[in-house]
Structures are given as C-alpha cells and as structure tokens.
Amino acid sequence: MMEIEALIPHRGRMKLLDEVVAANGDSAVTSARVSHRWPLCQGDYVDPIVLIEMVAQTAAVFISCKKGIDTGGSRRGWIVGIKKADFFVDRIPLDAVLIATVKDLYHVDQYSVLEGEVTAAAKLLCRVQIQVFREIGEEIVC
C-alpha cells in the first residue's frame, strides 16, 4: 500500500485523500471520506468546489508515481491552473466516500494537462481539467 504522505505535500486540513486505490502509467485512483475538517465545510456538507483540490491531489499522486517517489527530498509546490471544471451537484454530504480518477491528457517538459473525475456511489460529481507547471528538471518519465 502506498503512503499518501510520500506522494503529496499536503498535511492537516488540506490533506483530503485517504487512500491510493490504484496508480499506474495511465491513471491514478484515490478515495476520500468527506469530513468536517475539510476546507469549505458548511455544517453537514462541503461545497463541491473542494473537489478541484481532490483532483489536484490525485494528480500529484499520478505525477509522483510516474516520475518515481522521492521521499528523501523536499516537496516543492507546483503551480496549478484550472482549465475547465463542470460540477453536477450543489453540495456533498459529510461521510460520503469519494473516488477520484485522474489521467494524463498530454505533457511537454514540466507542463502537464490532466483530466479528473470524482464520483460517489457511482454518481459523477464533477469533471475537471487542470494544468500543472512543475519546477525545471522535474520531468515525467513516459
């Protein structure tokens, strides 16, 4: 089982992922249970915009697995932009189990475009495209 802390720099309230379900050269799949500690929690639900962060963290799992896990060095942040985001729900209840799947659409040097989907009980909650700029020298191996 992969340790999430070795794959993403997020800690505390900003660490949304609970488990890496699968990760390979084509995609990464993660799971998370919605918690009151999550950002954008509004009592008994969270705002779905937080799903963009779940997709971004799953993208970090994917990229870390593609380039090889580096647990010995510092974890630098990336610049992440939202190319497109479609939401199909207005709120997500606490304790919902979410599954995020991310795949690489394309990448050139330190720039990648990834697409992610988040589901709960087989219902599509959102589809998001993000672009990621990594530091120079941090290339993905295909």
Task: Show the domains of the chain with their CATH numbers.
Answer: 4-133 (3.10.129.10)
Residues in the chain, pLDDT under 70? 1-2, 4-13, 67-77, 136-142
CA separation (Å) from 141 to 18, 110, 137? Answer: 26, 11, 12
pTM for the full predicted model: 0.85
Question: Which residue in 115, 118, 128, 140 sits closest to 27, CA to CA?
Answer: 115
Q: What is the pLDDT of residues 55-82, one digit of tens each?
A: 999 998 888 877 665 443 345 567 889 9
Residue 31's H or E segment, with its range, is strand 27-33
